[in-house]
Amino acid sequence: MTEQANLLTGAAATARVTVDLDAIVHNVEVLQRHAGNAAVMAVVKGDAYGHGLVPSARAALRGGAHWLGVAQLQEALALREAGVTAPLLTWLHAPGVDFAAAIRNRIDVGVPAIWELDAVAAAAREVGETARVQLKVDTGLARNGAYGPDWPALVDAAARHVADGTISVTGVFTHFAFADAPHHPTVQAQQVRFADAVRDCERAGFALEVRHMSNSAATLTTPQAAFDMVRPGLAVYGLSPVPDIGGPSRFDLIPAMTVSANVTVIKRVPQGQGVSYGLTYVTPRETTLIDVPCGYADGVPRAASSVGPVLVGGQRCTVAGRVCMDQFVVDVGDLPVQAGDEVVLFGTGAHGEPTAQDWAEATGTISYEIVTRMSTRLPRIYLGEPDA
């Protein structure tokens, strides 16, 4: 859709997520500068952290990303169905996943376990093509990679499948446990273990195209861990994975997502009026209350009850009382607000609005969760999308 058509669609909605695709392009350019000679794999799992899979992926590719990474095969297949031809890696599968579809669509499969390697090899024989596999080693996160003696066993099993032509090992990768604390000793220790795992693959004779371990935090703070490729997610969307070290502006990132809604009902109430379910907020004086039409069904955390910050009429105000499924109330004092006025929950922060990081801090979570959980009930409005 054109930008204008998108804006009209959004104007009809009571609440919306606006995504600035030019911000994604810019953020990938910034990440590429940090990555030096390493390639960028933009991570677009989780509907591109809530920003919308296909438009975000295309913007990341415009920004110079060479690869796209997702957690689930269905996400990779959705990209192929949309006509995205860039190299793709998917890395989280349970038995029963249709690896034949991955092979037919030239999607690299991240493999942490022998059962999965065997299933991919069986699918490759069925399809009659060589499967592209990237081995995932656990270097200390204790999550989804091959751990301890399972790693050399996985390498040996992969070598047998390579020898019979069913698979090609195109990459090796791992994931940091604590990259947001760049001086934590595990950051160095995991790099050493990963370098050993890379050597194991090279000794086995695999024709590796990519070796990679860095998420957003490592890309921005630990450049020596870049190897051939970095794998940032959060920073692609302009949020800082290390808010204590530096917010988006310190890294020149631009938050891509803005969430806003239009005021429905306004009322003047006396001092002592309880507000929303349970009447947990009580007006401290005569004041104006506004009703904002988005709630936890839209991804507004219920934990934001009486603490979530918003911008209305150029002023910072706070959610009054409980966030409901479809709406919440804000005490705006004596601000002159009218039905239809825009309330911004979060955005870039450049116009005084709160950021996703502010919402994370107010609700005791991380900005990843704030943006990713914005529900698809909120229409996505894309700015900066080139005309089709």
Q: Which residues bind ligand PLP (CB under 6 A)?
A: 43, 45, 91, 175, 215-216, 231-234, 241
- Cβ closer to ligand PLP: 218 or 324? 218
- Give the Cα separation of 164 and 240 in Å (integer): 45
Beta bridge mates, 383 = 20
Tell me if 143 is assigned to a ligand binding site: yes
Q: How far is the CB of 62 from ligand PLP (least distance, A)?
A: 19
- The token duo for 43 is 């991570």
**What letter represents residue 195's amino acid?**
A
Catalytic residue among 45, 281, 296, 382: 45
Q: Which residue is nearest to ligand PLP (CB)?
A: 233
| 314, burial (CB in 10 Å: exposed 0-12, middle 13-18, buried 19+) | exposed
Q: How far is the CB of 91 from ligand PLP (least distance, A)?
A: 6
- Give the Cα separation of 242 and 301 in Å (integer): 22
DSSP 8-state secondary structure symbol assigned to residue 137: B
Tell me if 377 is assigned to a ligand binding site: no
136 is catalytic: no
Q: How far is the CB of 154 from ligand PLP (least distance, A)?
A: 17
- Cβ closer to ligand PLP: 209 or 326? 209
Q: How far is the CB of 216 from ligand PLP (least distance, A)?
A: 3
Q: Which element (helix H / strand E) includes 102? A: helix 99-104
- The token duo for 103 is 């092979």
Q: Check: CB of residue 162 under 8 Å from CB of residue 168.
A: yes
Which has the closest alpha carbon to 28: 178, 251, 245, 209?
A: 251
Helix (H, G, I), strand (E, B) or coil at 171: strand
- Give the Cα separation of 260 and 14 in Å (integer): 9
Residues 6+ apart with CB under 8 A from 318: 306, 307, 308, 309, 310, 330, 331
277 is catalytic: yes
- Give the Cα separation of 92 and 145 in Å (integer): 10
- Give the Cα separation of 214 and 145 in Å (integer): 15
- Cβ closer to ligand PLP: 46 or 55? 46
Residues 6+ apart with CB under 8 A from 361: none
Q: How many residues does the chain have?
A: 388
Which has the closest alpha carbon to 257: 206, 299, 219?
A: 299
Q: How far is the CB of 277 from ligand PLP (least distance, A)?
A: 34
Q: How far is the CB of 208 from ligand PLP (least distance, A)?
A: 17
Catalytic residue among 147, 277, 296, 368: 277
Binding residues: 143, 325
Binding residues for substrate: 143, 325
Active site residues: 45, 277
